[in-house]
Chains A and B, each alone.
Chain A
Amino acid sequence: MESPASVAAALTAEGYLPDERIAQVVYLAGRLQKPILVEGPAGVGKTELAKALAKLTGRRLIRLQCYEGLDEAKALYEWNYKKQLLRIQADSDRDWSEIEDDIFAEEFLLTRPLLEAIRSDRPVVLLIDEVDRVEIETEALLLEILSDFQVSIPELGTITANSTPLVVLTSNNTRELSEALKRRCLFLHIAYPEADREKEILLHRVPGITEHLATQIARLVRSIRALDLKKAPSVSETIDWARTLLALSIEHVDEKVVGETLHVLLKYQTDIEKAAKEFATPAASST
């Protein structure tokens, strides 16, 4: 990763088309060794970015999917108490103080994604997905690993990283993340792509699509996003739609096609109706 341009080229080669801001922030993250916090609406390719990064650097991707109720034992580490018990029973004739030292050894430690990421000998890409889903208190678990790449385990002491992972956090912005977390990250907002970029993405991701169709789809999607919808179509839905049209061997989109295939793009009935009113009936086309 020598320059933003080479990052962009490498990402493109992996099938992820970055815009300038994305390439620049990824480049900086590599240089400054800081986590990237990626924010944006669902389906603009936040997780894809992390995957593409893993492919591009040839690193293993370790993924921590966040959810409400995620705790230390699931994110960081846990003691394998069954094994510890067995050990105690097997050694019942030995002196307690010896056993005590034994059972809090690394062999009884179950590593969870965060610990695994920093204990790995080869550098990895750590993806902490949908970090806005955990409670604000749980966020604190992440702080040590994000700023110092280390984990403190009371019984063992501090485990520092063998290799510096490239960390990507994603957030759908359903709630505001704490200042402490944000401060430790580089911030990257990914919005819906401009029509031109979306067209490029389509050309890239949907083999066999014609330039004309891609342009038309990108423009239509831009126009649909401008409507007041419950859930605007995401990039992945756009790609699905393009694939559908291709499978139906449609080369030119008109009102009829829109009316028949809109459900691929939009997932709420009210949204479909609204968009159908705007685009699918010839009468309503003038603004």
Chain B
Amino acid sequence: MIDLLTDFITELRAAGIPVSMVESIDAMEAVRHVDLADRAGLKAALGATLVKNERHYQAFEVAFEVFFAHHRGPVPGEEHSGQGPSPNGSQQAGSGGGESDLDSLLESLFQALFSGDMASMEAAARRAVTEFAGIEPGRPVGGTYYLYRTLRRLDLDALRQRLLDAVLAEVDADDQLDQRLAREDVEAMISRLRRELADEIRRRLVADRGRLSVARTLRQPLVEDLNLMHATRSDLEEIEEVIEPLTRKLAARLARRRRLLRSGRLDFRKTVRRSLASGGVPLDPAFRKARPHRPEVFLLCDISGSMATFARFTLQFTYAMAAHFSRLRTFVFIDTVDEVTRYFGPGIDFGEAIGRIATEAEAVWLDGHSDYGNSFARFEERYGPEISPRTTLIITGDARNNYRPGKPEVLSQIRSRARALYWLNPEPRSYWDSGDSIMGRYEPFCDGVFEVRTLRQLEHFVEQLSLPGHLVGTRQGNPQPQAAPGR
């Protein structure tokens, strides 16, 4: 058991869940108190001791399912006797399964779902996997392929329709509310069936290839590590949910660090003045308060096609941190630039603001393909005079310029007037300067160029930015002739 748990904890850590030494000891201790045959109990015990963040729970669940997969007894109606999954048998059955089998299976699925009998639904799902998934032993895949194969044969849409008809027949046709609820019930049942199928397939994979290997295939990045550019819809929702707690944590950390940095240089005059009270002995030295460092930030975001999601999160994150900047102005560009600060008033709904930017901002001049050169030129022309030595410029974009003139000299001009210029690029560093990316031509004029593909990296960047003497230590990219402007 200890070996199994150690492996399990190693897997959790590999998936990115921080499990401390103490926590793993707690887990071992907890396991002693639970009935090992009770899977749900074991899961709760391990979950409570090892996972201290709900965001990580899903990754934990996947790993748990893999490591502690349970083997069920045979199901009536299944041709293989003996214990649980038998991959060899299912391979032969893969292409088989006559039409009558399919019909009877669908019928039993329908009956199970209609009556809400979960046990027979699970049994039917197992039969479905045995007959249609055609699992090939030893193939290092994650299971999506098998799921697809099973679903193709089962035709869930037809099943859903049939269920819906049956359920709707029971409710009052005039009662719109009841109908709607019935529809949602059917949806919930279908998704439950899908989940059961996926679980079953995973169980067989584990039996086939061993848990370590399957866990590796199934491992998914945590929300903080999701790639912002390639996030799926459900990923985006998750990211959205964690942005706020993340920024609060960051804000608290910054406030604390700033408090620690509070005392400034000795104020000689004040100290002497105070010393008069104690007969000229400077008992109580006075210090000049360090002025809080609050940079003025100009955000310049590429919002063309693929960059839009990324720009959105950068904006959202930066605005959540707005209290730490003395002023925050936002500009968007595709092939020309427009200021959109006015859409982000206090208490604004962020999604709405983004929607308005997409429709109202004039970021397109010619054809809606990124043109960094022209955008910079227009920016310099319209807003250049407003850049002061207190301004920190942040550009987000992939620097893919569609082979148009990049005009790095304009960027250099802009830089010379600002306090600092940072570039956030959501592409992996190895892609830079390939194809139409001209990152390398802009890089010499930036104080730092960062690969920012995940929330974690974004958080790190914003934290550095709002600290005094920012980014000096962590500068990436080429060293600059001008030293980072300290004070």
Contact = CB atoms under 8 A, between A and B. Distances in A.
A260 to B, nearest CB: 13
Contacts of A185: 52
Q: How large is the interface on A (under 10, 10 to 19, 20 to 34, 35 or more residues)?
A: 35 or more
Contacts of A36: 48
Nearest to B237: A228
A174 B181 CA distance: 32
Interface string A163-197: 00000000001111001001101111100000000
A189 B177 contact: no
A141 interface: no
B47 interface: yes
Contacts of A286: 180
A21 interface: yes
A175 B53 CA distance: 12
Contacts of B23: 183
Given A175-B245, A183-B20, A189-B54, A285 B29 contact: no
A226 B22 CA distance: 38
Interface in A125-141: 135-137
A216 B249 CA distance: 40
Contacts of A253: 177
A65 B49 CA distance: 25
B26 A287 contact: no
A189 B51 CA distance: 10
B60 to A, nearest CB: 11
Given A31-B33, A175-B248, A183-B52, A189 B180 contact: no
Q: How large is the interface on B (under 10, 10 to 19, 20 to 34, 35 or more residues)?
A: 35 or more
Given A34-B26, A183-B20, A285-B177, A28 B183 contact: no
B33 A20 contact: no
Given A20-B40, A32-B29, A32-B30, A255 B177 contact: yes
A174 B245 contact: yes
Interface string A248-287: 0000011100100000000000000000000100100111
Contacts of A24: 34, 40-41, 44-45, 48
Contacts of A282: 176
B184 A219 contact: yes
B57 interface: yes
A284 B36 CA distance: 50
B contact patch SS = helix
B360 interface: no
Nearest to B57: A189
B162 to A, nearest CB: 19
Contacts, number: 106
Query: Which of B23, B29, B52 has its CB near the most chain A CB atoms (within 10 A)?
Result: B52
A223 interface: yes
Contacts of B253: 136
A229 interface: no
B44 A25 contact: yes
Query: Which of B23, B34, B48, B256 has its CB near the most chain A CB atoms (within 10 A)?
Result: B48
Contacts of A198: none
Contact of B51 (A187, A219, A254): A187
Interface string B148-192: 000000000000000000000000000111111101110000000
B48 A28 contact: yes
Nearest to A25: B48
A182 B41 contact: no
Given A34-B26, A285-B177, A4 B41 contact: yes
Contacts of B40: 20-21, 24
A37 interface: yes
A175 B180 CA distance: 37
A253 B180 CA distance: 13
Contact of B52 (A21, A28, A187, A220): A187
B440 to A, nearest CB: 38
A175 B252 contact: yes
Nearest to B253: A136
Across the A-B interface, give the 6 residue pairs with the lowest CB-CB distance, nearest first: A24-B44, A285-B176, A182-B52, A175-B248, A186-B48, A176-B249
Interface of A: 3-4, 20-21, 24-25, 27-28, 31-32, 34, 36-37, 39, 135-137, 173-176, 179, 182-183, 185-189, 216, 219-220, 222-223, 226, 253-255, 258, 279, 282, 285-287
Given A285-B176, A285-B177, A287-B183, 15 more contacts: A21-B44, A25-B48, A32-B33, A34-B26, A136-B256, A173-B245, A175-B245, A175-B249, A176-B249, A186-B49, A187-B47, A187-B51, A219-B184, A254-B175, A255-B176
